[in-house]
Structures are given as C-alpha cells and as structure tokens.
C-alpha cells in the first residue's frame, strides 16, 4: 500500500510537524510498509471526496508476480495505492454459497485479487486520487508483472480431466450439480409415439443499465460509523455485508439508496470493487467514490444466461406429452457470486422446465461449472427465459412432428385452470394459475386464425412470416424458503411505517427501493387507498437503512406484492388510530366515522366533520385538550412475509409475429402480444409498461445481445459499438392483456409483474423464426441470438 500527501497544503504540514493549516495537530503518522509497497501518510489528509479507479487484469487467468505502484504514487493528486493484501487488514473475504443448494462450492473472493487474476477485468490494484481523471492517469503508471496461465473458457470442456482446475483446493471445476428424477421418465419415453430432441444454446449477456454501478463510502472516525451511498436494489442486505466483512456492528453502517437508473438484477450483488471502495474509505477515513465506466461495466457487471441445454420431449399421436428431459450446462465465471450465489439460475431452470404442463415424468440434470470469464449471476427473470424457451421450443417441435397446431397441443396439455393447487414434478407448488384462460385470451387478441390464413397466403408470394407462442410461469413474492433457508441474511419480509405529521401529511417509510420501475408510485397509491387520502398527500421514504423498516429490497418482482401488502396493512392501522382520535374529539363512535380524501366524515351520510390537518394539530400540539388517559398514536408499522412456498407464481402467454428476409437473414418484428396474470393489478399503466420493457429485454436476448469471448477468455465486444442492444425503431407494437387471479396469501392479492415479459419473449421469437422457415426445410434454430448469419446457414444460403 502506498499513501501520499494529496495537496500542497498537506506537504506544508509535513514540513511543519507541529502545525496544519495554522492549527496545532499531532505530528503526521508516517510508517514504512514492506519493501516495494512504499509509504503512506495518515491523519493529516483533508476531508475531501476522493476517487478510486482500479487497475484490472488484461488476462483471463494469470499469476500476479509483482505490482509496482511507485510511479503511480508519485503522480499528481494521488493519495494512495492499494494491492490485495492491504485491504485484508480491514475486510475479510467472502464465499458465495447457500446451504440448501447441496454441494454448492466456491473459493474465497477478496476485494482485490490476491495471487491470481481469474478473469479479464478482475481488479488487482486500486489508485486513489483527488479526481477521477488524476486517478486514471496514475493507474496507467502501475506496472503489474503477470504470468499468464491457461484459461478455462469453454464450459463444455471445463470438467474434462485434461482441463486445468481454476481453484485446485476445490478439486475440480464443478460448482454445483442437481438431479431430478420424477415420475417414470423411462416409461414416458416408451409411451411416446415420437421423441423429439434439440440442443438449445443461450448467449451470455448483461444488463447495460442506463446508470452504471456507483458507490460513495464515508467512514466517520469520530462516530465510528460508515455511511454508504450506493446504487443497490437491497440496502439492508448491503448494510449486513459491509458490517460483516469490516468486522463492525450493523448499526455502525448506514446505506442510502436514491433513485437508481435501472438494475435488472445487476445491482443486487456484492461486487469486489465496491467492497474495496468501502474498505479504502475506512482505511483513509475519507469519503471515497467509485463509478464504473461503461467499459468496466461490460467486464465486471454480472453476466447471465450462458446455458447449453439438451432437451427431449415425448409425445403421443393425440398430442399428449409423456415426458420431459433436460441436461443443462452453464458456466458462471471463476466464483459463485455473493451472497445470492451463481447456482440459483440453473436451479430455477430445473425447477421450472415443463412445470406448467400435466406431464408427470421428468428427468433433469444441471451442472454449473467454473470458467475464466466474468462472473455470472441473477439477472431479470432468473432462469425463466431458458426454462420457457426449452419447454416451449420442444412443445413446438413435437407439434410439428405429429402435425398438430401449436395452440392445440398446448390446450391439451396445460394444467387446467380448475386443477389447482398443483405440484410440478420438480416439487414447486402452484397456488392458482390461469393458463387456459390466458391462452384463450391471447388467441382472441391476436386473431390467430386470421394470422394463419395471412401467413399461408404470403408464403405463396415468397414472403416468410412466422407465428411463435410461449406459455410460462413467473416466480414472484419469494418466501423465506428461497434465500433465508440457505443461511443468507436476505430478508423475505418487508415493513412499512406510516405516520401523520403535524400538518396532516402522510409519510410512508418502506424498505424497498426505486429502480425506475415505479415502486414509489405503487407504494404511495396503496398507502393512500388504505388510509383514505389523495395520493398527493403521501410522501414515500425509501432506500435508507436508518429511516426505513428492515426489508428485502427490490428483486424477484416482490415490491408490489410484499411491500405493497405491508403498506396496505399499515395504512389500515393508521386509519383506525386516526378515526379513534377523531371519535374522541367529536364524541362519536369510531365505527360511525370514515376517512375519505383526507377528511373525516360521517360514514352513513358523508357529511364532513374534520380535516386531517386539524386532527394532526390537536394530536401534536394540543393533546392537553384530549380526555385524560387517551394517547393519540399517529404512527403505525406493519410487516408482511409471504407464506406461499416458495413463491407466489404468476403465469402468462406470449406470441410473436415476424417476417424473415431469406436473402439477408434479417428478422422484422411485426407484432407482439402478452397476456399476463399478476393477481390484483394495482397500477395498470405501470404493469403494462413493465411487461413491455421486459419483452424488449427478452427480444434483445433472442436477436441482439451477446457477450462474445474467444478461446483465451477475452471479451471481444465489451463496448456499445459492438454489443448490440434493442433499439426502439426495431421493436414491434406490443399488445398487453390480463387475466386476474389474486393470490390468497395476502389481502391485496397482488403478485409481481416485472419479469413476465423477459421470461416469455425469447422463446416466442425463436418459435416464430422456426415457424417462418419451416416451409424451406430449414435446420431448426435453437442458438440465441439468432443472427442473420445463423439464419442464412439454416436455410443453406451460406
């Protein structure tokens, strides 16, 4: 570690040991560290914001022989230089495992790489300076001596005996394995008239949030307290992690999260560079800021979806599905991401594949392997696009094999709407779904028979259009059996505190956070409805561990269903307290009064009696006018934890209508439909736009987005010029419909809706492309993204 004076004024203080900017201070603490790591000055630095940048490995796998920071430490404005061993003084390593994922293993991870860099982009050194620009200039002067090591880039060969083991202490490159054998899969194969199989490949991609990851950490030595401003989805989770690995109490850590510009699951994990920023702030006792630039984001934001799934389906001549079988292989990078782990996505694929069909016979194998690429973890609709595309791709192929319409085969096999509660072969439980109603509604919305007729007519003219459909389920409102059971301090409950201030304004404090999805509006809407005031009278406070009830945050489509229910119950409780107070003032019975639009009225006649401002004035400033012994309570807190095991499932259907140009291989999206059942719909506009946004991300996976690596583990397109994201001009019109099946687990009956679009869209586009090309005898396309080159090869044009 090298720490140097950061301004001329500090240098002056060093020349005058007993003075510092005209004030008497102790002599600066100068100490020499180990050879080659320089010296540093502490206790006399200015309380200004510092900026940290990271020197990152250019190699996918390399031994770090030495790091020379001397030149960087002498650069203008540099305050400190840190290597891996320096930060272990204040921060312990972490291991991304959950006990209920049996056999899941990973190696300890540190804020900065210790002896080896295990992916291109892993931070090996931190440079701290007065500005970001100065820190970047100095970082370029750091000399790292690497010994490049063989990289494990291909998940397919990660378990081969001749492949190097990334973490020798773990024995092999297998992170996690799960097997399911339900019903009698072998009998299901024998009962089938046709067995169809295919290998589905899902390109690795990432979130590309509007706002990059960002953090400011400030250690107050006087208060022995850390304040962290962070763009995170789970403030209370991060409070726990910072405290745990700094070795301090949780109450010594405050995490503040303002509005975040998009997350999609990217910002719900512990990142090494953010943990390093916090450790550096504690060492330097100054505010330290890190903001990932776009190139860093591509190299370090979690990636997702890198799966190869070989699937089989058995089907009778009458369309009855007799068996599903999958073999899923996924590469997750060199570490299981902390604390949610990188085993969850493959586990979800196993849980979900084929689960919404009546077929009882199911065999599944999932293997998760280490590789020398960026880490991979939960991203919007964790595992759902894979499970849906595999299931629905196989169902479409089975229908084609036996000559049955794709809608008809689904009608014959979906769990009927009166068949719930139901348990899938994997063991997951469905409370109540509406697959039949959703399928019928989308067929009506899209005028399915008319589209088929149009498709047939255009084919005769050499125009190849396709119709693709997916049915799916979505996990929402996760219960404690999802993470808590595995030992992670990730809360499944959320609380809401509502209070009435002295002016009659309602404040609603909640543990969920705003990521751009409209959570603040939904919480305000629920609180206003439950309490009885206009939404304009409600102010929502979120994203502050000092000022909100403990909660899980925003992930897995849980905010409306869990925090919304807590807000509903808190609003009802505060309403009862206010009516009790009003009844005392008015000498009436509480049940004879009501609160409507912020005014206490007679329940029977709606005659106005008192405004909330007057009630608040009396309670806060003139309680002496109330009867002896009556204590007004204008604060109410309620919590809600879902009891459904392990989720409140939603369901839906999507359909894609597109045209393939057989000369260029380009796909033109013509129309997209989605019917979703998210239970009680609190805010229809927000729900519809969440679904549309999810569809866009799903289409991105199907047609555009792909993190391309070479055989040495080098990311080849980590920039906005080469990594394609869907653009508005390329998107089709999207029609959204709903079926409403409230969950009985809560009074509101709300489930989540944030991931439905992403879950079903890739499979729908895949099935539509294959449907369009089927008359040409094309090879079935199952490798995403479906690029023009892949399409042209499938039809023999190149």
Do residues 229 and 289 touch, judged by C-beta distance below 8 A? Answer: no
In tens, the pLDDT along 537-589 reads: 999 999 999 999 999 999 999 999 999 999 999 999 999 999 999 999 999 99
Do residues 541 and 509 touch, judged by C-beta distance below 8 A? Answer: yes
* Close Cβ partners of 753 (under 8 Å, ≥ 6 residues apart): 476, 557, 560, 650, 676, 678, 687, 690, 691
In tens, the pLDDT along 9-59 reads: 332 222 222 222 222 223 233 222 333 343 343 444 454 899 999 999 999
| Positions in the chain short of pLDDT 50 | 7-45, 47
Long-range contacts of 236-240 (CB under 8 A, 24+ apart): 236/491, 236/511, 236/545, 236/550, 236/551, 236/552, 236/553, 237/268, 237/339, 237/489, 237/490, 237/491, 237/552, 237/553, 238/270, 239/545, 240/489
Q: What's the pLDDT at 48? A: 86
Which residues share a beta bridge with 255?
Answer: 228
3-state secondary structure 722-763: CCCCCCHHHCCEEEEEECCCCCCCCCCCECCCCCHHHHHHHH
601/607 Cα distance (integer angstroms): 5
454/670 Cα distance (integer angstroms): 13
Do residues 292 and 214 touch, judged by C-beta distance below 8 A? Answer: yes
766/783 Cα distance (integer angstroms): 9
**CB neighbour burial string for 295-304, b if at least 16 within 10 angstroms, e if fewer:** ebbbbbbbbb
Q: How, if at all, do strands 506-510 and 538-542 pair?
A: parallel
Angle of the 384-402 helix axis to the 344-352 helix axis, nearest 10: 30
Q: What's the pLDDT at 1? A: 72
* Close Cβ partners of 107 (under 8 Å, ≥ 6 residues apart): 95, 166, 167, 169, 170, 334, 335
Tokens 């990311």 map to which residue?
715
84/126 Cα distance (integer angstroms): 9
280/23 Cα distance (integer angstroms): 27
Q: What's the pLDDT at 644? A: 73
The pTM for the full model equals 0.93
Domains with residue ranges and CATH for the chain: 30-38+499-630 (3.30.365.10), 44-149+215-260+267-284 (3.90.1170.50), 303-480+644-794 (3.30.365.10)
40/528 Cα distance (integer angstroms): 55
Which residues share a beta bridge with 449?
Answer: none
Q: What's the pLDDT at 4? A: 63
Do residues 764 and 672 touch, judged by C-beta distance below 8 A? Answer: yes
Q: What's the pLDDT at 482? A: 81
DSSP 448: H
């Amino acid at each position: 570690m090298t720490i140097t004076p950061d301004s001329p004024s500090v240098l002056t203080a060093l020349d005058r040991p007993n003075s510092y900017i005209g004030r008497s201070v102790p002599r600066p603490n100068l100490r020499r560290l180990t050879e080659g790591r320089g010296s540093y000055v502490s206790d006399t630095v200015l309380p200004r914001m510092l900026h940290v940048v990271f020197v990152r490995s250019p190699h996918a796998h390399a031994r770090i022989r030495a790091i020379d920071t001397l030149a960087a430490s002498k650069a203008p404005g540099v305050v400190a230089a840190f290597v891996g061993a320096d930060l272990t003084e204040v921060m312990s390593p972490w291991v991304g495992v959950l006990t209920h994922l049996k056999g899941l293993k990973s190696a300890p991870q540190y804020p900065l790489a210790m002896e080896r860099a295990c992916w291109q982009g892993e931070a090996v050194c931190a440079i701290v300076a007065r500005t970001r620009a100065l820190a970047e200039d100095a970082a370029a002067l750091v000399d790292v001596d690497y010994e490049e090591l063989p990289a494990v880039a291909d998940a397919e060969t990660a378990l081969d005996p001749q492949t190097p083991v990334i973490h020798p202490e773990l024995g092999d490159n297998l992170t996690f394995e799960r097997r399911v054998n339900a019903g009698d899969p072998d009998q299901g194969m024998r009962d089938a008239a046709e067995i169809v199989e295919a290998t589905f490949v899902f390109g690795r991609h990432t979130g590309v949030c509007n706002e990059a990851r960002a953090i400011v950490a400030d250690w107050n030595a006087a208060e022995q307290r850390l304040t962290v401003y962070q763009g995170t989805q789970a403030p209370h989770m991060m409070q726990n992690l910072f405290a745990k690995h700094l070795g301090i109490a949780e109450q010594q850590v405050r995490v503040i999260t303002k509005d975040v510009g998009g997350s999609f699951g990217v910002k719900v994990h512990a990142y090494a560079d953010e943990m390093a920023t916090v450790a550096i702030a504690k060492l330097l006792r100054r505010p330290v800021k890190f903001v990932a630039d776009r190139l860093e984001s591509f190299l370090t934001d979690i990636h997702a979806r890198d799966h190869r799934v070989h699937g089989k389906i058995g089907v009778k001549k009458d369309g009855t599905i007799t068996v599903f079988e999958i073999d899923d292989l996924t590469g997750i990078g060199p570490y299981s991401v902390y604390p949610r782990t990188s085993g969850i996505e493959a586990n979800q694929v196993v849980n979900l594949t084929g689960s919404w069909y009546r077929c009882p016979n199911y065999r599944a194998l999932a293997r998760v392997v280490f590789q020398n690429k960026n880490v991979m973890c939960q991203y919007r609709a964790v595992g759902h696009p894979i499970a849906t595309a595999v299931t629905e791709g196989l169902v479409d192929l089975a229908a084609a094999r036996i000559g049955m319409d794709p809608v008809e085969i689904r009608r014959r096999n979906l769990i009927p709407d009166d068949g719930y509660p139901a348990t899938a072969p994997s063991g997951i439980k469905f409370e109540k779904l509406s697959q039949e109603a959703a399928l019928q509604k989308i067929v009506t919305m899209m005028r399915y028979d008319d589209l088929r007729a149009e498709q047939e007519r255009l084919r005769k003219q050499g125009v190849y259009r396709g119709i693709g459909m997916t049915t799916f389920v979505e996990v929402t409102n996760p219960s404690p059996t999802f993470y808590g059971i595995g030992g992670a301090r990730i809360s499944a409950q959320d609380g809401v505190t509502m209070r009435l201030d002295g002016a009659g304004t309602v404040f609603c404090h909640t543990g969920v956070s705003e990521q751009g999805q409209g959570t603040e509006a939904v919480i305000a809407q629920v609180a206003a409805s439950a309490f009885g005031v206009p939404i304009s009278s409600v102010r929502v406070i979120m994203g502050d561990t000092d000022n909100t009830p403990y909660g899980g945050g925003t992930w897995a489509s849980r905010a409306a269903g869990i925090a919304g229910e807590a807000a509903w119950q808190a609003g009802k409780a505060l309403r009862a307290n206010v009516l009790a107070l009003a009844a005392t003032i008015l000498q009436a019975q509480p049940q004879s009064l009501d609160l409507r639009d912020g005014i206490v009225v007679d329940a029977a006649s709606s005659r106005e009696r008192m405004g909330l401002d007057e009630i608040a004035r009396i309670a806060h400033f003139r309680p002496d006018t109330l009867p002896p012994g009556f204590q007004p309570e204008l604060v109410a807190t309620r919590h809600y934890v879902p009891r459904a095991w392990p989720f409140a499932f939603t369901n839906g259907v999507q359909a894609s209508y597109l045209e393939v140009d057989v000369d260029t291989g380009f796909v033109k999206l013509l129309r997209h439909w989605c019917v979703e059942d998210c239970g009680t719909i609190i805010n229809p506009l927000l729900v519809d736009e969440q679904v549309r946004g999810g569809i866009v991300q799903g289409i991105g996976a199907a047609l555009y987005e792909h993190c391309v690596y070479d055989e040495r583990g080098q990311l080849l397109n980590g920039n906005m010029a080469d990594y394609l994201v869907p653009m508005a001009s390329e998107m089709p019109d999207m029609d959204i419909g709903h079926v409403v099946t409230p969950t009985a687990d809560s009074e509101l009956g709300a489930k989540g809706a944030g991931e439905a679009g992403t879950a079903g869209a890739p499979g729908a586009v895949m099935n539509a492309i294959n449907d369009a090309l089927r008359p040409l005898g094309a090879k079935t396309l199952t490798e995403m993204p479906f690029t023009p080159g892949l399409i042209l090869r499938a039809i023999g044009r190149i």
